[in-house]
A and B are shown apart, each in its own frame.
Chain A
Amino acid sequence: MEHYQALEKRRRLLGYTLGILLILAALVAVQMGAYEVSLRELLESVVIWNIRIPRITSALLVGAMLGLCGGVMQCVLRNPLASPFTLGVSSGAAFGAAVAIVFLGVGQLNRTGLTGVIIDNPYTLSAFAFFFSLVTVLVILTLARLKQITPAAMILAGVAMSSFFQAATMLIQLFAEDVKVAAVVFWTFGDVGRSNWIEIGLMAVIFGLVFSYFVLRRWELNAMLGGDETAKSLGLEPERFRVKVMVLASLLAAVGVSFAGIIGFVGLIAPHLVRLLIGGDYRYLVPYSSLLGALVLLLSDTVGRTIISPAVIPVGIVTSFLGVPTFLYLLLRGERYAA
């Protein structure tokens, strides 16, 4: 029992550490940027309150959503590769954005900045992105329902849907004016600086609700780890539970992607890092995947904002560049919990 108590202690410690790191990272992020501020200026500055703090909050929320989404998808599909990216949620969203920009003309290119897309009507675009990311998931879930396909086949269906939407997006781009193509490309880069307070509020509410649901269902998630038969023998109805989890996780990803564009890798890396550190128990994975996702995205965005300041590198690019080497390093260290 002492061993177990030590393990529990280590797990709690990681929670505190992540929490503190997150607060520190947020403070640093507020201060750093093209426009350096002292603490006193900070409270009075319009830049800070209208641009930097919304951006940081949005990074935290989107990161938490993606991290949590990847974590629970990996559980119910019993596949370490499951993430909003691999399941085609992101590609569906990109397709929706392309449709909105090219056919409805909601976006236009502003040539002054590095990420110079101005979306005239962001809600139309987000709505389209959201709709098509959910279409992807619904197709996969319908297949699962009708044909009783395995979790592995669900992943393959996701990869197929992903390819389909990528091809469809390219087809649209092929016939679109170059200005609109550029707008689509810029949108897909993934950037947390687009959201205003209303959108942030919306994301916070959705994240809060879905997060609470997964916290309540943490033991069910653990029971799913042993396979459907074991889950059934423990009193669950695994097929139904899997659909519920997938719908809610996809909702998180779809909301995140439709407001911030495509940000790869956070959904994959955050839960795996937690597993490497404290194992695969969903009582901890649910909160810590969210915390770590938020931390990774905030750090990446801060790096992206400052490294070639005043120009800003979209966070989607940074997450992949920083995330991949970190992830490979940790995997190669061969921790026992890998995958």
Chain B
Amino acid sequence: MQREILRTEDLHFSYHKNKSHILQGIDLALHEGELVFIMGPNGSGKTTLLKCLGRILKPRGAVYLEGVEIQGLSQNDLAKIFGYVPQRSELSPLSVFDAVMLGRKPYMGWRPNRRDVEVVKGVLFMLNLESLSAKPLTELSGGELQKVAIARALAQEPKVLLLDEPTNNLDFASQIEVMEIITRLKADGISSLVTSHDLNLPLVYADRVILMKDGKVFASGDKDVLNEETIKEVYGVEVEIHRLNGKRIILPKDHVSA
């Protein structure tokens, strides 16, 4: 078993006092270089969980990083640990290079130093974004924009990447490209938590799956967590799981067009 990087204990969150909790006692663990998918229907708390881990929202309960409680850390220190890629990146008029350089903000003094520039160049090279360096974000396609958001998070040199539906709104080729990038990071010891609505995506890429329902962890474990019963229970739909050359595919049951 790999070294444990992140662990949460009894994480609770609600947007308003006295309102019902969106997260209700989340316990989870993440290991070094692990790619974990967080699945669940709309409103199950996936996005909120990611935001609570990155301290974009402040939850009740404990989050431990390599065994140390992160409560006392400043926002700036947290930014060196967690790279957060939001569901939708807000468009800013910065060039790709400068947008990725923002990922160095937590390390930066008065101005970017040589190492900052090196890191940004390296990340741009790795994600094949070099030719777009001077382009403003407003001129990029959805896939390019998502890659820039990931590049910025990587420039933070994080231990944990939090990716909120990174393949949303992307064409098929870009979906694969983005997932391949995330998979490659495992070799560098970077752990990723990824949310998705595509049930087949974790079957291809996940090391582990956490299935959420109503702000709680419904089930967690390897890919087999996603089966006919759990999906029926969590999403309320009937599916059938096919096997093809040892791989599994989830399809809707009795679909009309067949």
Contact = CB atoms under 8 A, between A and B. Distances in A.
Interface of A: 1, 3-4, 6-7, 216, 219-220, 222-223, 225-227, 229-230, 232-237, 275, 279-281, 283, 336-337
Contacts of A237: 75
Given A232-B75, A279-B94, 20 more contacts: A1-B121, A1-B130, A3-B135, A4-B97, A4-B133, A7-B95, A216-B110, A219-B108, A220-B105, A222-B94, A226-B89, A226-B102, A229-B86, A230-B89, A234-B103, A234-B106, A235-B106, A236-B105, A275-B93, A281-B94
A6 B134 contact: yes
A190 B226 CA distance: 69
B136 interface: yes
17 contacts: A3-B135, A7-B134, A219-B105, A225-B90, A233-B82, A233-B83, A233-B84, A234-B102, A234-B103, A235-B74, A235-B75, A235-B78, A235-B106, A236-B75, A280-B94, A283-B98, A337-B138
Contacts, number: 95
B84 A279 contact: no
B90 A227 contact: yes
Interface stretch (B23-31, B49-57, B191-199, B248-256): B49-57
B93 A281 contact: yes
A230 B136 CA distance: 17
Given A4-B95, A219-B102, A281-B98, A233 B136 contact: no
B54 A233 contact: yes
Interface string B47-90: 00001001110000000000000000011111110111010011
B79 A233 contact: yes
Contacts of A225: 90, 92-94
A4 B162 CA distance: 29
B245 interface: no
A281 B133 CA distance: 14
A283 B112 CA distance: 12
Contacts of A226: 89-90, 92, 99, 102
Contacts of B95: 4, 7, 279, 281
Contacts of A1: 121, 130, 133
B156 interface: yes
A102 B135 CA distance: 55
B18 interface: no
Contacts of A234: 79, 102-103, 105-106, 156
